Amino acid sequence: MQAEKPLFDDRGNPRCCTGVRFHGGMRGGRDTEVVLCAGSIGSVQLLELSGLGQAQRLQDHLQLRMIYKVQGVSTLKTRANSWWGKLGIGMEYAFAHRGPMSMAPSQLGAFAKSDPAQSSANLQYHIQPLSLERFGEPLHSFNAFAANVCNLRPTSRGSVHIQSADYLATPEIRPNYLSTGEDRAVVADALRLTRHIAAGEIGTTIFHPAGTCRMGRADDPRAVVDSQLRVRGVTGLRVVDTSVMPNITSGNTCSPTVMIAERAADLMRAARKFIP
């Protein structure tokens, strides 16, 4: 079901979220609690469709992809760039549960400091035995591996805003990568650390958007939700996803999101108000 927006009962003060309108119907009631789990893009879009929000708070991990050609060694490109190679990979997994299909996309991961002055690792590497121009495109015609590195603690912040009242319309996403001097310095240090990388290499999102529905104290003007994930200014509405992170985590966002969801479940059980 495609959600259109949360529904509110405006008779009280504060406003009370009573349900959700979705394509083909609606669900909820006065004594229910609504939980948004649409991520740092979808949750803020739904809030803005209901007239809530307006701020610059998106964070994401920018990944720099550096490609190294290799000689005298086989890479995944060697096998995967032909139908016979793809068939062999599939057969190897089907009968022996081995080979490329049994492995993670990144064969090597590492954490590092962009410079010795950092108090802890602020870079994360994903090394892959293949290379391509961008996600979704074919592998390169040459043998190569990709060294992908991202700044785990960016200070740059972007925004996500709706462009119309149409819930099917794509929101405007402005990552605003590298908008601060600190982030640009870390990128330069990361390139030096990876060595021999020319300027203008490829940078893409690592798909970790966070912070658009920031959690914070009552005196924080940027806070969208409180410490119990409740949307400020209304009742009966929580946000439970990466958008509530005050700052993006220093690493992958999946496990922290699971923790946020577990905590939200505890809070809702304690309140005994939730949509089954």
Q: What is the H or E stretch that residue 28 is in?
A: strand 25-28
Out of 126, 140, 161, 208, which one is annotated catalytic? 208
Amino acid of residue 112: A
Q: Where are the beta strands (DSSP E) in 129-214?
A: 144-151, 159-161, 172-174, 202-205
| Termini Cα distance of the chain | 16
Nearest residue to 150 (alpha-carbon basis) of 116, 119, 94, 109: 109
The residue behind tokens 């999946």 is 254
Q: Containing H/E element for 187?
A: helix 181-194
Q: How far apart are CA 236 and CA 243, in angstroms?
A: 18
DSSP annotation of 248 reads -
Confirm whether 208 is a catalytic residue: yes
Measure the CA–CA gap between 99 and 108, rounded to whole angstroms: 16
User: For residue 235, what are its two tokens?
Assistant: 């009742």
* Chain centre distance of CA 179: 19
Instruction: Name the one residue in this structure whose structure tokens are 């119990």.
Output: 228
Of 219, 214, 210, 213, whose CA–CA distance to 250 is shortest? 210
| Active-site annotation, residues | 208
